[in-house]
Amino acid sequence: MTTSSTTTPRVVFLDSAALAGPGDLNWEPLTIGTHFTEYPRTAPEDILSRVGDAQILITNKCQLTAELLQAMPNVRLILEAATGYDNIDTIAARRCGIDVCNVAGYARMPVAQTIVSYLLHHCNRIATYAAESREGRWTACKDFCLLAHPTLELEGKRITIVGLGSIGNTLAEMLRPFGVELCAVTSKPQEELPPYITKIDIEEAFATSFAVSLNCPLTPSTKEFVDERLLSHAHDQLILINTARGGVVNEHHVAQALEAGRLGAYYADVLSAEPPTADNPLLRAPRSFITPHIAWATREARTRIIEALAYNIRAFTHQQPLRNVVN
């Protein structure tokens, strides 16, 4: 069906499954004033046939190459249903007269909250003790409490944030009430940092911190920067947390450090390949806690994505300025 971008645009969502999650979202904002078609997943070979004569394309992870974009003459707007848009050839899109917009900042709260939950899990061992209670260990205990594992307090511990962007700053604000010593590895000078954050270098961070949280983007300079050399500076109680991208660490080197007892624990919501291959060493390494890339995915955060997409659809329809154009 052919439509005008100023009347009723045809909108195609190529891969809604991850955003839809357990079916708790309302898609109506995307359907108002549009001809809306949603596909849970789209294979590369089916992209063109599903796009058809659509003017607006929504995607989360579909790879939109220059070749594909050149074969979509009616598409005028691509909406990335996420912050990262490395799956879209934005330069080719601009050559084709296609605006590309992402959704920035929607997940800063839930990602920071996940990092705090990792720290509390490590300190309080709630899951461990709850499992042992179910298994009858407390019932069989001779004392009123089953103190089988040490618990820790966060107060006074040094926590270093690597990458002080939106998520890093939100994390720092969340951690302040715990009374921790906050440090950062950042390109920003000390005078531009909040007074409660001390700038240190990455080697000092690994050598002296209770926990290091990786919140930096994946770039050529950060690809696998956490490697055997950097891990040699770590102490055997260090908690390393990665909610950035799987590719910022060398996963084999991290697994080896855990196996050798040279790293205290590794908590991550991201891996270099997603879904991971069965032989990823971090899935079985000791003291490795991997969650399946769900830190971003609270219902509130996914609703913010829907709202941002709907805003740009309305702006396109009424020929108004778009938000978060990345090309």
Same domain, 250 and 125: yes
Same domain, 100 and 124: no
Q: Which domain holds residue 60?
A: 10-106+298-317
Residue 4 domain-assigned? no
CB 213 within 8 A of CB 121: no
Same domain, 221 and 308: no
Same domain, 168 and 262: yes
Query: Could you say which residues of the chain have pLDDT below 50?
Result: 1-5
Which residue type, as a one-letter code, is found at position 317?
Answer: T
Catalytic annotation, pick one of 67, 153, 274, 307: 274
DSSP 227-277: SHHHHTT--TT-EEEE-S-GGGB-HHHHHHHHHTT-SSEEEES--SSSSPP
Residue 53 domain-assigned? yes
Nearest by Cα to 313 from 148, 154, 81: 81
3-state secondary structure of 305: helix
CB 73 within 8 A of CB 49: no
Residue count of the chain: 327
DSSP 5-73: TTS--EEEES--HHHHTTT----HHHHTTSEEEE-S---GGGHHHHHTT-SEEEESS--B-HHHHHT-T
Count of domains for the chain:
2
Catalytic annotation, pick one of 94, 125, 293, 314: 293
Catalytic-residue membership of 122: no
Cα 288 to Cα 251: distance, rounded to the nearest angstrom: 11
Same domain, 16 and 130: no
Same domain, 112 and 214: yes
Cα 284 to Cα 280: distance, rounded to the nearest angstrom: 8
Catalytic-residue membership of 132: no
Residue 304 domain-assigned? yes
Catalytic annotation, pick one of 10, 108, 122, 245: 245
Secondary structure letter of residue 325 according to DSSP? B
Same domain, 118 and 267: yes
Per-residue model confidence as pLDDT tens digits over 283-295: 999 999 999 999 9
Residue 322 domain-assigned? no
Looking at residue 183, which CATH number applies to its domain?
A: 3.40.50.720
| pLDDT of res. 1 | 29
Same domain, 118 and 162: yes
Same domain, 254 and 153: yes
Residue 184 domain-assigned? yes
| pLDDT of res. 151 | 94
Residue 325 domain-assigned? no
Nearest by Cα to 326 from 90, 58, 34, 76: 90
Residue 326 domain-assigned? no
Same domain, 272 and 168: yes
Same domain, 286 and 304: no
| pLDDT of res. 2 | 31
Catalytic-residue membership of 307: no
Same domain, 160 and 264: yes
Residue 2 domain-assigned? no
pTM of the model: 0.90
Cis amide linkage into residue 275, ω under 30° from 0: yes
